[in-house]
């Protein structure tokens, strides 16, 4: 392998390894930390979270970012071993890398198509891996000096040489063991329950800081009846919005505890990022959000909305219109979902229009006694705000 090709392969493999490693870290945080917001969530369209938590973000429950880590690490190992004098890898490594990158290229092209045309989202970290894979494919193809039809025979000879070399065999075993450990360390997407974050009690100074922050949030008149409650919490929601799921899981214990006293009222409003039911979200990225909101509206009349809400958030990464329709029947007890959907959509559109009037730009957006809060915040902050409003009500 020519020195220039070797250097370029190392550069792009290192770039891809870095992007994949950071992607894996972000995906792990999304799976384990309620309310986690990724630094690469720039806007509704530029969002790593939408990509990672979608059905395209994992394969058999394993984040695809881990596949990137293993691919780029293997490329680096092959390039490094190709420098050994007298090794057949000096000639064969580019072909091995070219074969691996051909498979990787097909995979990333599929992911890019899914992101741009189905999710309609751009993942910056993912884009970094796409560039690295394409570059490795081109460089390794140009560095291969023999017909690819001879590669199987060359591979058999290299495998025999590998087995006869204790050092090479040990490195291979370490790589396989490391890959298995890395995959095993990640929670599976099918595990919908995220562990609760045990935060220490807030100090008086922290509560004072929260009060000052809360008081400067924009305040509007929200047309929702209090029905005797001292604190009214309104959440504008999208069932395909990962932060909506995170706040649902994190805030649920706090909200249930306070609503049971009658002092707090919680109201769920719908703001799907889909043009069918939200005029401000034309070309939105969430293709099953309207069906999910409509199913929730209809399930409320059946008394099954809480059960359906939990199911929708628990299966968020696999939601499609057909999946939601099936869940409406099986979980929500709505055999006539199709016949009632248009009626439910009227309420969803009304909620979305109200959200526009109130200045909702993204989901989730909360209104607590009229204070609009659109950025993420942990459950202990919600608890502190509720305590603050209850004290003021006295």
- The total domain count for the chain is 2
Cα–Cα dist 103/148, whole Å: 14
Q: What DSSP line would sit under 195-237, residue for residue?
A: PPP-PPPPPHHHHHHHHHHHHTS-B-------TT-SEEEEEEE
- Asked if 237 and 364 touch (Cβ cutoff 8 Å), the reply is yes
Is residue 180 located within the same domain as residue 225? no
Which letter, b or e, does each residue of 49-77 get, where b requires 16 or more Cβ atoms within 10 Å of its Cβ? bbbbbbbbbbeeeebbbbbbbbbbbbbbe
> Of the candidates 138, 154, 184, which is a domain's last residue?
184
- Asked if 104 and 133 touch (Cβ cutoff 8 Å), the reply is yes
φ and ψ at 329, to 5 degrees? -75, -50
Is residue 11 located within the same domain as residue 85? yes
Is residue 43 located within the same domain as residue 160? yes
Cα–Cα dist 84/256, whole Å: 64
In a domain, 199, yes or no: no
Stretch (H or E) spanning 269:
strand 264-270
In a domain, 191, yes or no: no
Total residues belonging to the chain? 394
Is residue 236 located within the same domain as residue 344? yes
Q: pLDDT 10s digit of each residue in the chain, 394 long? A: 788 888 999 999 999 999 999 998 888 877 666 456 678 877 767 878 777 877 678 776 678 888 899 999 999 988 988 776 666 777 888 999 999 999 999 999 998 888 887 777 788 899 999 999 999 999 999 999 899 999 899 888 878 877 777 776 677 777 778 777 767 776 655 443 444 445 678 899 999 999 999 999 999 999 999 999 999 999 999 999 988 998 999 999 999 999 999 999 999 999 999 999 999 886 667 899 999 999 999 999 999 999 999 999 988 888 999 999 999 999 999 999 999 999 999 999 999 999 999 999 889 999 999 999 987 788 999 999 999 999 999 8
> Of the candidates 152, 184, 216, which is a domain's last residue?
184
CATH number, domain at 152?
A: 1.20.1440.130
Residue 340 belongs to what domain range? 204-393
């Amino acid at each position: 392998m020519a020195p220039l090709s070797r250097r370029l392969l190392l550069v792009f493999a290192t770039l891809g390894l870095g992007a994949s490693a950071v992607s894996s870290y972000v995906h792990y945080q999304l799976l384990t930390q309620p309310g986690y917001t990724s630094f690469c969530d720039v806007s509704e369209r530029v969002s790593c979270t939408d990509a990672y938590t979608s059905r395209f973000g994992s394969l058999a429950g394993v984040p695809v970012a881990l596949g990137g880590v293993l691919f780029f690490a293997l490329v680096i190992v092959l390039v490094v071993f190709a420098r050994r004098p007298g090794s057949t890898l000096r000639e064969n490594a580019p072909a091995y890398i070219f074969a691996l990158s051909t498979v990787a290229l097909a995979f990333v092209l599929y992911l890019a198509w899914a992101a741009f045309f189905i999710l309609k989202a751009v993942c910056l970290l993912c884009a970094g891996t796409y560039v690295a894979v394409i570059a490795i494919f081109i460089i390794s193809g140009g560095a291969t000096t023999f017909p690819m039809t001879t590669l199987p025979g060359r591979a058999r000879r290299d495998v025999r040489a590998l087995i006869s070399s204790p050092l090479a065999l040990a490195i291979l075993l370490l790589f396989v063991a490391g890959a298995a450990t890395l995959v095993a360390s990640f929670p599976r997407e099918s595990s919908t329950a995220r562990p609760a974050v045990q935060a220490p009690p807030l100090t008086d100074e922290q509560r004072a800081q929260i009060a000052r922050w809360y008081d400067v949030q924009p305040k509007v008149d929200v047309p929702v009846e209090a029905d005797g409650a001292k604190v009214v919490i309104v959440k504008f929601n999208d069932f395909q919005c990962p932060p909506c799921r995170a706040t649902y899981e994190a805030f649920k214990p706090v909200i249930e505890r306070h609503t049971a006293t009658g002092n707090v009222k919680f109201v769920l409003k719908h703001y799907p990022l889909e043009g069918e039911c939200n005029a401000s979200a034309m070309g939105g990225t969430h293709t099953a959000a309207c069906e999910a909101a409509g199913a929730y509206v209809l399930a409320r009349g059946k008394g099954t909305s809480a059960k359906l809400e939990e199911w929708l958030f628990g299966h968020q990464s696999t939601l499609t219109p057909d999946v939601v329709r099936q869940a409406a029947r099986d979980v929500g007890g709505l055999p006539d979902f199709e016949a009632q959907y248009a009626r439910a959509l009227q309420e969803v559109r009304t909620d979305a229009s109200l959200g526009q009037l109130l200045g909702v730009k993204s989901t989730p957006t909360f209104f607590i006694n009229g204070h609009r809060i659109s950025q993420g915040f942990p459950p202990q902050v919600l608890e502190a705000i509720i305590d603050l409003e209850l004290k003021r009500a006295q």
